[in-house]
């Protein structure tokens, strides 16, 4: 596994999402996403912000937001959201091939593409098959990253996660099992995914 092998996976997921977004009507763009408080259009604008973000740009944006992640994300959405969905979609197309990244592990790019991809797709009833490697790598990163940096380390403490469709078993404690995608979404705070898991560990994941 090399430091740059993440990019083919990232770019493949971006390309697939662009195809799905191109099929949406304006009403679908304004539907609530799985990301609380954001519409589909807002999530797309957030993705555009992350695709365009550089290491130095991220530090500057965080400073402007007084090092508040939520404030920084909200500012990014406001900045990148186009006047119309088509405006935003065109800008996404232009940025899709970029390899810029904030100062974080490269696998955070997979977390962004998979989790936010589902934030958009699930409320719209859209199905997509993600590359198994992309999902597993995103999940492994989330469970070792602190919540203060957008991860799930604290949420999964004391739970044994078992993927039913991948060679992944991590943690100790009561078991929560399901597909790697459902586990990733659940530990990332997407409540509907909890219904796709089984085992006594699900109750632990449900607690805030």
Q: Is residue 55 part of a domain?
A: yes
Cα 160 to Cα 153: distance, rounded to the nearest angstrom: 12
- Residues 98, 177, single domain; the answer is no
- Residues 101, 136, single domain; the answer is no
- Residues 148, 100, single domain; the answer is no
- Say if CB 59 and CB 72 are below 8 A apart: no
Cα 32 to Cα 119: distance, rounded to the nearest angstrom: 9
Mean pLDDT of each 10-residue bin along the chain, 208 residues long: 77 98 97 96 96 76 66 80 96 96 92 98 97 97 91 94 97 97 97 97 87
- Say if CB 14 and CB 120 are below 8 A apart: no
Q: Is residue 180 part of a domain?
A: yes
Tell me, what's the pLDDT at 2?
Answer: 46
Instruction: For residue 79, give its domain range.
Output: 6-106
β-pairing, 169-170 vs 175-178, is unpaired
- Residues 10, 101, single domain; the answer is yes
Which CATH number does the domain housing residue 148 bear? 3.30.1050.20
pTM recorded for the entire structure: 0.91
- Residues 21, 89, single domain; the answer is yes
Tell me, what's the pLDDT at 1?
Answer: 40
**Any residues with CB less than 8 A from the CB of 26 and at least 6 apart, and which?**
84, 85
- Residues 142, 202, single domain; the answer is yes
Distances in Å between the alpha carbon of 93 and those of 111, 166, 196? 20, 32, 33
Q: Is residue 192 part of a domain?
A: yes
- Residues 15, 70, single domain; the answer is yes
The pair of three-digit structure tokens given for residue 132, joined into one six-digit string? 């198994």
- Residues 95, 21, single domain; the answer is yes
Q: Is residue 81 part of a domain?
A: yes
**Any residues with CB less than 8 A from the CB of 178 and at least 6 apart, and which?**
163, 164, 186, 193, 196, 197, 198
Domain count, the chain: 2
Q: Is residue 96 part of a domain?
A: yes
Q: Is residue 1 part of a domain?
A: no
Q: Is residue 19 part of a domain?
A: yes
Q: Is residue 114 part of a domain?
A: no
């Amino acid at each position: 596994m090399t430091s740059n092998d993440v990019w083919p996976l990232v770019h493949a997921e971006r390309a697939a999402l662009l195809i799905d977004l191109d099929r949406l009507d304006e009403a679908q763009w304004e539907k609530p996403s799985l990301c609380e408080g954001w519409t589909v259009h807002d999530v797309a604008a957030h993705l555009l912000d992350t695709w365009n973000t550089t290491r130095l740009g991220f530090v500057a944006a965080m400073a402007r937001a007084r090092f508040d992640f939520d404030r920084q994300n909200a500012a990014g959405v406001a900045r990148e959201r186009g006047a119309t969905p088509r405006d935003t979609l065109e800008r996404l197309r232009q940025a899709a091939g970029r390899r810029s990244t904030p100062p974080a592990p490269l696998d955070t790019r997979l977390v962004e593409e998979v989790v936010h991809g589902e934030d958009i797709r699930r409320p719209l009833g859209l199905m997509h098959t993600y590359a198994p490697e992309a999902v597993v790598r995103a999940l492994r990163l989330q469970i070792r990253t602190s919540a203060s940096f957008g991860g799930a380390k604290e949420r999964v403490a004391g739970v044994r996660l078992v993927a039913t469709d991948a060679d992944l078993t991590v943690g100790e404690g009561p078991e929560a099992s399901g597909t790697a995608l459902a586990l990733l979404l659940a530990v990332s705070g997407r409540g509907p995914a909890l219904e796709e898991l089984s085992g006594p560990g699900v109750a632990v994941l449900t607690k805030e």
